[in-house]
């Protein structure tokens, strides 16, 4: 085996998280959700940009919530809370994002991390595209997730993320309806 082949084999092992002392392997998943909204793209875009409106549909579960939103390229959003369920210890949830691209009325691209008890669990790149339709807007949400640390039930991590996104989009539709859009 050549020196290059040995180096590449070692790199592959380290990347897969199988080397001595290496972090666990990262699992990658991608999903796209198409979501019709009965509001024009400008109103849907504004529901992302306007902090009070965004707070109506973007929330972390739990109590002791903190939140900050700066809707500018290189700005971002942070949120944290303490989530409790009966017969389990509380979990500290945290979300931090950075906006990478904002095209008014058309596209938003951002990256974010989600942490539980100060441990980053996954990182994602999200692209939100807004396409005008006769009835309003067709929102296309594409998320590319890297699951860094699996939960106790790792087979539920990806369905949980996809389901939570659908719930948020339902909340977006409700916020637009409440605003008369």
Give the model's pLDDT for residue 59: 85
**pLDDT score recorded for residue 180:** 76
In whole angstroms, what is the distance from residue 19 CA to residue 11 CA? 9
Asked if 15 and 110 touch (Cβ cutoff 8 Å), the reply is no
Q: How far apart are CA 11 and CA 112, in angstroms?
A: 26
Residue 140 vs residues 44, 123, 126, 146: alpha-carbon distances, Å? 12, 19, 10, 20
pLDDT < 70: residue spans in the chain:
1-23, 181
**How confident is the model over 153-165, as pLDDT tens digits?**
999 999 999 999 9
Rounded to whole angstroms, how far apart are CA atoms 49 and 54?
7
pLDDT of residue 29: 97
**Residue 60: predicted pLDDT:** 86
pLDDT of residue 104: 97
Burial (CB < 10 A; 0-12, 13-18, 19+), residue 172, is buried
Dump strand ranges (E) for the chain. 27-37, 63-69, 76-83, 91-103, 107-116, 119-133, 136-147
d(CA 97, CA 79): 9
């Amino acid at each position: 085996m050549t020196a290059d082949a040995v180096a590449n084999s070692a790199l592959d092992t380290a990347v897969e998280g199988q080397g001595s002392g290496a972090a666990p392997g990262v699992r990658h998943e991608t999903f796209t959700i198409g979501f019709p909204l009965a509001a024009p793209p400008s109103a849907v875009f504004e529901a992302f940009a306007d902090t009070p409106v965004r707070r109506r549909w973007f929330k972390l579960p739990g109590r002791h919530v903190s939140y900050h939103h700066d809707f500018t390229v290189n700005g971002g959003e942070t949120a944290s809370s303490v989530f409790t369920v009966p017969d389990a210890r509380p979990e500290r949830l945290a979300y931090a994002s950075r906006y990478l691209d904002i095209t008014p009325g058309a596209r938003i691209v951002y990256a974010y991390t989600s942490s539980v008890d100060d441990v980053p669990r996954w990182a994602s790149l999200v692209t939100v595209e807004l396409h005008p339709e006769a009835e309003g807007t067709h929102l296309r949400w594409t998320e590319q997730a890297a699951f860094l640390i699996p939960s106790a039930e790792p087979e539920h991590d990806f369905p949980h993320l996809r389901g939570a996104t659908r719930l948020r989009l339902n909340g977006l539709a409700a916020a637009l309806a409440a605003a008369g859009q």
